[in-house]
Amino acid sequence: MNVSTAKALVTGGSSGIGLETARHLRAKGAQVAICGRDEARLQRAAADIDALPITGDVSLENDVVRIVRTVVEKFGDYDVLINNAGFGLFAPLVETSLADMQRVYATNVFGAMLVARESARHFVEKNRGNIVNVASTAGQRGYAGGTTYSSSKFALSGLTECWRAELRKFNIRVMQINPSEVQTDFVAASGRPLRPFSERKLIPADIAQAIVSMLEMEDRGFVPELSVWATNPD
């Protein structure tokens, strides 16, 4: 697609991979709306990249309906969803609570479904569109302590395959990107100890560049899934 004429919604767009993807899309000329729960941070991010800020929580159905409606009202149309909102909690199975599982799934799985559903309703009507789900290499192989987060990304991968099978006939490209560890505030938000910044590990701009390159392929083709690893991390 021609990204310079794209109109995109980026969830979790106030920081990390979401913000950098929005920044890269804006640099290409796309119109971009970003959404997030923290209004102050969202407003700062939007001002920084000249994007449309829409405060909302993707785990709340009414918020999602309002977010999508606002994008259509402001842009007149849109054709790209970057389904990025997500967070992680990490604990051994014997210490994992149902409440923590529900919190993570509410955003990472149910929220992703809600935004994709509302976007797909619009895209199907237009007979075109692009959905990029930001998953994780944690959704390709489980690990100790990953009961909550890793399983949520496995679930997102399953959703991606279902949506792809349903939506291809409407010229909707459903794609998934699987970053390995990326140096963002994700670690701090999960409660795990921060590690020193390393030039050898991935940064959000690396993932943003990959997402934009997936979108830029001619519409007759698409990249179903792309995994991004650091070449030689510490």
Residue 184 has a pLDDT of: 75
Tokens 């800020």, located at residue: 53
Where do the domains of the chain lie? 3-220
Closest to 17 measured CA to CA, from 151, 140, 179:
179
Residue 183 has a pLDDT of: 85
CA distance 147 to 120: 29
Mean pLDDT of all residues belonging to the chain: 96
Phi, psi of 231 (to 5 degrees): -65, -50
pLDDT digits (tens, 9 = 90+) for 169-219: 999 999 999 999 998 776 555 556 667 777 889 999 999 999 999 999 999
Positions of the chain with pLDDT under 70: 186-194
Q: Is 78 a catalytic residue?
A: no
Q: Which residues contact 32 (CB under 8 A, 6 or more apart)?
A: 7, 8, 9, 10, 13, 22, 25, 26, 49, 51, 52
Domain 3-220 adopts which CATH fold? Answer: Rossmann fold (3.40.50)
Closest to 69 measured CA to CA, from 32, 122, 21, 116:
122
The model scores a pTM over 0.85 = yes
- The sheet with strand 31-36 has its strands ordered as 52-55, 31-36, 7-11, 80-83, 129-134, 172-179, 225-228
